[in-house]
Structure 1
Amino acid sequence: MSSGRAKKKPTKSEPRSRAESSAETREALIRAGIELFASEGLDAPSLDAICARAGKTRGAFYVHFPDRDAFLAAVMERVGLPFLDVVLGSDDTPPTLTTVVQRFLVAVASGEYPLTAKDGVRPHQLLDACARSEPVRARYVALIESSIARLAAIVARGQDEKTLRDDVRPEDAAAILLAAVVGAQTLMELRASVDLGPAAAAMLAMLRRHPGPQE
């Protein structure tokens, strides 16, 4: 006996749009690049190996990236920008300079810092890639300049709050801080016996504002 209810016909899942499929392909290729560059270095993985890891074809690769250098630059940005967001925070929740330095030291100690992670890309490999490729160099410089600008804003905020000395331009202080980071990368790659914690504390002490006798 019929219950009177119409049976629902099974519905097929909606096919992904072309844009969604394209985004998934690009993401798979970048993930494959991150994994292979970290484990094998920047030069060793071939395009065939990258495409095989991603489960995509060479044709799909060239739809998204004109060449290997453009791909490497995209991978660099994907790794670098999220890390910078973690360390430097956002405009909604701006950190103090002390917090930024502490986050950097924690990232280094935990292996989360991209250029000092175990079995990851080494600083000299990145510099070699920059020397060979203008697109890679330009993308790396863009990340550096963005970092300096964001650090300068943090320093300026500290000066406004009278926690940092105001006789140094924020942009100059930010450039010195970033130069110290690049130097720290080199020291760590050389396995030099330098304790970054006290060195970072000394740099913060030099930038910290000390009230004068009239305050």
Structure 2
Amino acid sequence: MPRSRAHTRERLLAAALDVFAEEGFGRSTVEQVCERAGYTRGAFYSNFTSLDELFLAMWEGRSAQMLRAIEDAVVAAESDGESDAVDLDVAAARVLSVIPVDDRWYRVTSEFTAHALRHPELRVAMAEREAAIQSVILPLVESALARAGRSVTDRSALGRALVAVHDGTTAQVLLEPDRTDVAAARTDLFLCVLRNYSEPNSPSENK
């Protein structure tokens, strides 16, 4: 993709996030996005066919950025200390520290999810992208668990449980941002999921 077109695309994506967050996805228009980005409708339609496609591209970009950060956090946790073993609590805390709890992004994704539920083709697209994200995250989680002396017992259930805990606790943290106990419970719940869907490699393993 030529540099100028890539720059236009990035500006449209950034402008769209602002517009979606302020106006709500369902009330946003192509014209509002173009006005915020400083482009014409022609520039928009040279890059995207619709606001739906733009959102999915936005989601793909943010997901890729998050996955890189998670991979770096897992590698950092595995590099700590002199032992080959990983402390599961430390690894989980590192990973959660790089997963953003973002008010604007949560609002936009929640609204788009409701929109997608009314359109079968978007519902399928979102489910496929969720599965693609899990396919990248799960090997990282399995690697960290293996270094902590544990093996996954139900891979599919673990992936779905991690997504459910992330979505649910994100809402709780955003609703009560000053509650440190709510934020702490987020980490505890992730650890519960990791332990409940894995088992020690030996009876003496307590991590």
Q: Fold match, TM over 0.5?
A: yes
- What is the identity percentage for the equivalent residue pairs of Structure 1 and Structure 2? 21
CA contact (8 A) 1:73 1:136 kept: no
Cα distance in 2 for partners of 1:197, 1:213 equals 24
Matched, 1:26 2:9: yes
**Structure 1 residue 127 and structure 2 residue 81: aligned?**
no
Q: Retained in 2: the 8 A contact 1:51–1:58?
A: yes
| Deviation, structure 1 residue 198 | 2.7
The alignment status of 1:211 with 2:182, answered yes or no, reads no
User: C-alpha offsets along residues 145-190 of structure 1, whole Å, 9 cap, x if unaligned?
Assistant: 1222123212432454462135x14344233322322333454567
Greater radius of gyration (CA): 1
Q: 5+ residue gaps in structure 1?
A: 1-17
Match of 1:56, SS?
coil
Distance (Å, rounded) in 1 between the aligned partners of 2:45 and 2:172: 38
Instruction: Show CA shifts across 1:31-74 (max 9, x none).
Output: 11122222332123221110011111001111111122112211
Structure 1 pair 43–106 and aligned structure 2 pair: CA distance change class (3 A): same
Question: How does the TM-score come out when normalised to structure 1?
Answer: 0.68
Contact 1:148 1:171 in 2 (8 A): no
Relative to structure 1, is the Cα distance of residues 136 and 73 closer, same or farther in structure 2, using a 3 angstrom cutoff? farther
1:180 corresponding residue in structure 2: 165
Query: Between Structure 1 and Structure 2, which shows a larger proportion of helix residues?
Result: 2
Greater RCO (Cα-Cα under 8 Å, separation 6 or more)? 2
How many residues are treated as equivalent by the alignment?
A: 190
Give the conservation status (yes or no) of the 8 Å contact 1:41–1:121: no
- Please tell me the residue identity of whatever aligns with 2:65: P
Aligned partner of residue 132 in structure 1, secondary structure: coil
Query: What do you get for the CA RMSD once the two structures are aligned?
Result: 3.5
Quick one: structure 1 residues 53 and 134, their matched pair in 2 at CA, closer, same or farther if it must change by over 3 Å? farther
Unpaired runs of 5+ residues, structure 2, are 79-85
The SS at the match of 2:103 is coil
